[in-house]
Structure formats: C-alpha cells, structure tokens
Amino acid sequence: MLEIKNLHVKLEEEDKQILKGVDLKVEAGKVHAIMGPNGSGKSTLSYVLSGRDGYEVTDGSAELDGAEILELDPEERAAAGLFLAFQYPVEIPGVGNMTFLRTAVNAQRKARGEEELSSGEFLKVVREKAKSLKIDADMLKRPVNVGFSGGEKKRNEILQMAMLEPRMCILDETDSGLDVDAMKLVADGVNALRDEGRAFLVITHYQRLLDHIKPDVVHIMADGRIVKTGGPELALEVEKNGYSDILNEVA
C-alpha cells in the first residue's frame, strides 16, 4: 500500500538534513509502528508524507498504491486515501466541528467523482461514529478543537478518520497527552477501523499505546533512518531497555 524508498528530506529554510534514506513498506491490512528517540525524524516523516510545507525532498520516493504522492497537494493526498492524525490538532475558532467534517467528507467525495452526502445521510453516519468515540452533540457543535481537552482532541482526530475512511492512516504520537482511559478509547476507535484494505503507521515514543493497538511490524528510527525492524517483541525490548541498547547494537 505505502512504499517509501530511500527518502531524503531537508528543512527548506535551513541546511539541515532530517531524513537520511528511509525505506519502508506497509502492506494493506497491516499495522506498522515506528518508534524512536526524540529528534529521530518520526514526525517529519509523517508531515512529509501528508504534504506539509517547509520540507524539501532531496532524494527518494513515496508511493501510495504504486502512485507517487510527494508531488501532490495535501488535499490530493487526502483524496487518494492518506490520513494523518495530528500530534497537535489545530484549533479553528468559528468553524463548527460538524461543518468542518461535512466539508471535508464532501470535498473528498467530490475529488473522487462520488456523490456528495446529503445533510441527513451525513448526520446519521456522524452521530453513530461519534457515539462509539464518546463524542457528544456538544462537541460536534463546538468550533473545531476549541476548548477541547487533550483527550477530546485526539478522539476528534479519530472521528475524522472514521468519517473519511482513508486507506492509509498515519497516527503521529496519538498517545501523547492522554491518560489511560482516553488512550483506550482512542485505541478502540482505531481497532474498529482495522480492515484488510486499510493500513496503519503508528508513530509513538512509548510501547504502551501498542498494548492497545497491536502492531504487526515494529520499526526503530534513529537519526533519519529505520535502523531496526522486527515484530511486536521489539517494542517490548524498547520499553524494557530503552533505545540505547538497540542503537549501540546497530551502530
């Protein structure tokens, strides 16, 4: 589904290389986790894949279902089925959460040449999905993420994911700032979306999220590269011994 080859990325504004040759292949139906110390390039990878400004790809490629995505606008990547759950979801005062969701869903449908959803159909779907994430009518009515707690913001990200039904989901430190209950709720939301046709790339510092979202493959990222790949046991190893052992081992 997602295939990244030899990806090199530097900051646009300064001469600083962040990604130094990332190779990664995520198959449909699988959950891959990327772990790594601060500054290893995990979040940069998620931003570059989703099309944020400020980065320059100096080499390599990233393909979604065989089609290059690095040249596409963020909205085109979204319409192609890519979704990034933000580490820090953005507050947008004055735009109702529901309006935002409906605009996004219909924009993607339009881009794919599908019928837009009527407000009745949309309401029905959104209510059902919101309920399972414990998002009440008030949260749907309020401006996007304004005054939301950390947990509410992350649940709102998962609601967007559930509504947009992307095929490739990237979760950027979705566990940061969550207590155990909130993390469980978010993980349940993600697990409900696990499907043969959908893949996940879960970026996290800690193993604990992976207790709830069980990965098939775990990668360790350091200094802009994937330095080790293994099964779920790799995450447990990190939890137990920290990153330094692994990094020393591969150095």
Partner 1 sequence: MGLPKIKQDATEARLSALDLPGGEGWTRAAREDALSRLQAAGLPHKRDEYWRYTDPRSLVEAEPPMAEALPEGDEGPIFGAHERLRIVFNDGQFDADASDDLSLEGIEIERLSQAAGADLHWARDLYGTLETRGQTPVARPLATLNTAFAQDGILIRVTGRPSKPVSLIYNHISDSSDVFLHHCVKVESGAELTLLENGAAAARLNTVLEVEIADTGKFHHVRAQGRDHARRAATAIFTRLGRESVFKSFTLTVNGALTRNECVIELTGDDAVAHVAGACVGDGDFHHDDTVFITHDAQNCESRQVFKKVLRNGATGVFRGKILVKKDAQKTDGYQISQSLLLDGDSQFLAKPELEIYADDVACSHGSTSGAIDEDALFYLRSRGVPEPLAQDLLVLSFLAEALAEIDDETIAEDLIARLEGWLARRRG
Residues forming the site for partner 1 (CB under 8 A): 50-53, 73-75, 77-79, 83-84, 86, 89-95, 99-100, 103-105, 107-108, 111, 143, 160, 164
Q: Minimal distance in Å, beta carbon 84 to partner 1?
A: 6
Residue among 77, 23, 31, 60 at smallest CA distance from 171? 31
What's the one-letter identity of residue 154?
K
What's the one-letter identity of residue 92?
I
Q: Using the minimum distance from each CB to partner 1, give the nearer residue, 158 or 164.
A: 164
Q: Using the minimum distance from each CB to partner 1, give the nearer residue, 17 or 99.
A: 99
Q: Using the minimum distance from each CB to partner 1, give the nearer residue, 37 or 74.
A: 74
Q: Using the minimum distance from each CB to partner 1, give the nearer residue, 69 or 235.
A: 69
Q: Using the minimum distance from each CB to partner 1, give the nearer residue, 78 or 209.
A: 78
Cα 18 to Cα 8: distance, rounded to the nearest angstrom: 8
Task: Give the burial string for 33-44 (b: 16+ CB within 10 Å, else e).
Answer: bbbbbeebbbbb
Cα 14 to Cα 90: distance, rounded to the nearest angstrom: 25
Q: Minimal distance in Å, beta carbon 229 to partner 1?
A: 27
Q: Minimal distance in Å, beta carbon 107 to partner 1?
A: 5
* Span between the terminal Cα atoms of the chain, in Å: 30
Q: Minimal distance in Å, beta carbon 211 to partner 1?
A: 28
Q: Using the minimum distance from each CB to partner 1, give the nearer residue, 71 or 181.
A: 71
Measured CA distances, 50 to 33, 63, 86, 163, 232 (Å): 17, 12, 10, 18, 26
Q: Name the strand (E) or helix (H) holding 162.
A: helix 150-164
Q: Minimal distance in Å, beta carbon 45 to partner 1?
A: 15
Cβ neighbours, 10 Å, residue 180: 9
Q: Minimal distance in Å, beta carbon 246 to partner 1?
A: 31
